């Protein structure tokens, strides 16, 4: 009898995570959903800040100085060595795996997410991301790099993918009147996660450092526990709207005047058969390719282009002494921090603007303005205009972030909202591809030109023109996007079958026993926003303090 009771309790607990049990009842305040999404995105967004661990981890054995591996030690051998330190270039493979598995897991599990709902997907994301960090912490403790790759790289990367797409379709359904703004709020959190996590990790590593430890393993454990708390709270706070719900005063007719906003829905299995999917895939890939390489090289690029001119000396970077180099590096760090702010702000600003301008027009601005800015960079660099150079890249990074935040709404406009989360997951394979090509274009062209004797201040000239050309191609792809042909839209009978897969849109009503009916008080909304707003404000303050050195 006791086993039957235990099984029943387990079934009830599992049922609580189902999509049906997360349907909101009358009086639910939709403004509770964005902070739930932010709670998850601010945690997984630390993926952008993992470079803060590379230098300490490169001294995990030597503690004060790296203990170099024997000559001829391959990257494969570094997976298992215990008596020497990993190279920074080897550690960077974890960063690569993050985004490879983010895109692939989002594509593979997007359909499951639509059936299971955001609450269950959010909890699985938490288990993967935080569990992966704990495995990686153990890998650091026993000095086994393969465990770090498996933990944070593979398992954590799967958590990234699920966490990234988990709120997309939910937010779009809660905010059909402000699709861009809604997804911009959540995806802004992914860009802001490193602003909180990086300075927090620095403080934790300093606190845990000892003569026998660099403090990274302990930091991983603390971050995993903190992230688990926030991500669990965010996942459990997810709600999906009931069938037929619309905001007061809004209805599908309100969007009928926009030619690019479809009144129909396209099935996940058919979306990739349309030319629109692949055109949007190319649009995202080209926008990300142009921006992601710059993010990784922002600091050395500023130093090499301007050199001593950053501190009032008319000399190249190779001619400064150690003290001057340190001053220049601090200014470059401020530049990187400023780019982070524009990356994050652009996610909310441009996605919100797309609600007014339309998604197609917004991407046209990204590509045309971005191409002009990239083409202007060599001139501002040669003229020694730091202000124009920095301003150009701030705008470029705002549009890079804006591209991520706007694309879910673009997909909803074209393919409808029924399977938009899963379609978005498949589209994120474009990010995985861009994550390879962007750094390759910027880094390898730089190396080739340096070997050819090109001055460091000019090694990015050709690169900037190539990136501008990529954006022109992206503009042409965006120009070709038209509304999806009606033949791909679900018929009423197919809508009924699809509704069985997505309970919140199924025909008929949900049993009252499964729907929380209590209204959401304003105080609860305020508490939810403070819970994510205070950490984000702290992260922004830390980044502003770092960026302020640019203006001294």
Which domains does the chain show, CATH number per domain?
Answer: 20-247+491-546 (1.20.1250.20), 258-489 (1.20.1250.20)
Residue 512: pLDDT above 50?
no
Per-residue DSSP letters for 252-294? GGGGTT-TTS-SS-B-HHHHTTSHHHHHHHHHHHHHHHHHHHH
Rounded mean pLDDT, 184-193: 87
| CA 257 to chain CA centroid, nearest Å | 32
Rounded mean pLDDT, 25-32: 87
At 534, is the secondary structure helix, strand, or coil? Answer: helix
Per-residue DSSP letters for 123-168? HHHHHHHHHHHHHHHHHHHHT-HHHHIIIIIIIHHHHHHHHHHTTH
Give yes or no for a contact between 214 and 63, defined as CB atoms under 8 angstroms apart. yes
Nearest 5°: the CA angle 428, 433, 435 is: 95
How do residues 34-85 score in pLDDT, each as one tens digit? 999 999 999 999 988 887 888 888 888 888 888 888 887 787 888 888 888 8
**Residue 10 burial (CB < 10 Å; 0-12/13-18/19+)?**
exposed
- What's 65's DSSP letter? S
Q: Which two tokens mark 516?
A: 């929380």
Residue 103: pLDDT above 70?
yes
At 60, is the secondary structure helix, strand, or coil? Answer: coil
Ranked by mean pLDDT, which of 294-298, 315-319, 384-388, 500-504 comes out on top? Answer: 384-388
How do residues 303-321 score in pLDDT, each as one tens digit? 888 888 888 888 888 788 8
pTM of the model: 0.84
| Closest of 107, 539, 466 to residue 293, by C-alpha | 466
């Amino acid at each position: 009898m006791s086993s039957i009771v235990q099984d029943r309790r387990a079934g009830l607990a599992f049922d609580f995570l189902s999509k049906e049990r997360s349907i909101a009842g009358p009086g639910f305040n939709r403004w509770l959903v964005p902070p739930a999404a932010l709670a998850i995105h601010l945690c997984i967004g630390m993926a952008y800040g993992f470079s803060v661990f590379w230098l300490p981890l490169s001294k995990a054995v030597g503690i004060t100085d790296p203990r170099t591996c024997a000559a001829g030690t391959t990257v494969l051998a570094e997976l298992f060595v215990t008596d020497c330190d990993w190279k920074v270039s080897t550690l960077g493979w974890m960063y690569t795996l993050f985004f490879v598995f983010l895109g692939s897991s989002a594509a593979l599990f997007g359909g499951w997410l639509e059936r299971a709902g955001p609450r269950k997907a959010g909890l699985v994301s938490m288990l993967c991301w935080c569990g992966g960090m704990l495995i990686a912490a153990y890998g650091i403790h026993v000095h086994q790099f393969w465990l770090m790759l498996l933990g944070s790289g593979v398992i954590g990367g799967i958590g990234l993918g699920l966490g990234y797409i988990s709120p997309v379709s939910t937010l779009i359904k809660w905010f059909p009147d402000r699709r861009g703004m809604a997804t911009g709020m959540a995806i802004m959190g992914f860009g802001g996660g490193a602003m909180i996590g990086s300075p927090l990790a620095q403080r934790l590593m300093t606190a845990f450092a000892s003569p026998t430890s660099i403090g990274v393993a302990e930091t991983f454990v603390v971050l995993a526990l903190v992230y688990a708390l926030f991500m669990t709270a965010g996942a459990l706070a997810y709600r999906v709207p009931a069938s037929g719900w619309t905001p007061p005063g809004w209805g599908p007719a309100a969007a009928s005047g926009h030619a690019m906003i479809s009144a129909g829905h396209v099935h996940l299995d058919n979306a990739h058969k349309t030319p629109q999917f692949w055109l949007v895939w190319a649009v995202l890939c080209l926008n990300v390719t142009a921006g992601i390489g710059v993010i990784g090289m922002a600091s050395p690029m500023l130093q090499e282009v301007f050199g001593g001119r950053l501190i009032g000396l008319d000399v190249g970077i190779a001619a400064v002494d150690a003290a001057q180099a340190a001053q220049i590096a601090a200014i470059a760090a401020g530049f990187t921090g400023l780019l982070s702010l524009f990356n994050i702000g652009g996610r909310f600003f441009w996605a919100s603007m797309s609600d007014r301008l339309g998604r197609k027009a917004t991407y046209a601005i990204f590509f045309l303005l971005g191409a002009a800015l990239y083409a202007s960079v060599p001139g501002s660099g040669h003229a020694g205009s730091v202000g124009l150079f920095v301003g150009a890249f701030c705008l470029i990074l705002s549009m890079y972030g804006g591209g991520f935040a706007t694309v879910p709404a673009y997909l909803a406009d074209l393919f409808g909202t029924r399977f938009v989360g899963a379609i978005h997951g498949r589209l994120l394979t474009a990010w995985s591809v861009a994550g390879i090509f962007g750094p390759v274009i910027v880094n390898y062209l730089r190396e080739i030109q340096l070997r050819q004797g090109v001055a460091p201040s000019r090694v990015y000239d050709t690169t900037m023109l190539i990136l501008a050309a990529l954006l022109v191609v992206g503009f042409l792809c965006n120009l070709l996007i038209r509304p999806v042909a009606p033949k791909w839209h679900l018929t009423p009978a197919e809508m009924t079958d699809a509704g069985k897969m997505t309970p919140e849109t199924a025909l008929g009503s949900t049993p009252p026993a499964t729907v929380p009916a209590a209204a959401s008080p304003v105080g609860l909304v305020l508490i939810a926003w403070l819970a994510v707003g205070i950490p984000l404000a702290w992260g922004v303050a830390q980044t502003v303090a770092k960026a302020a050195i640019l203006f001294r």
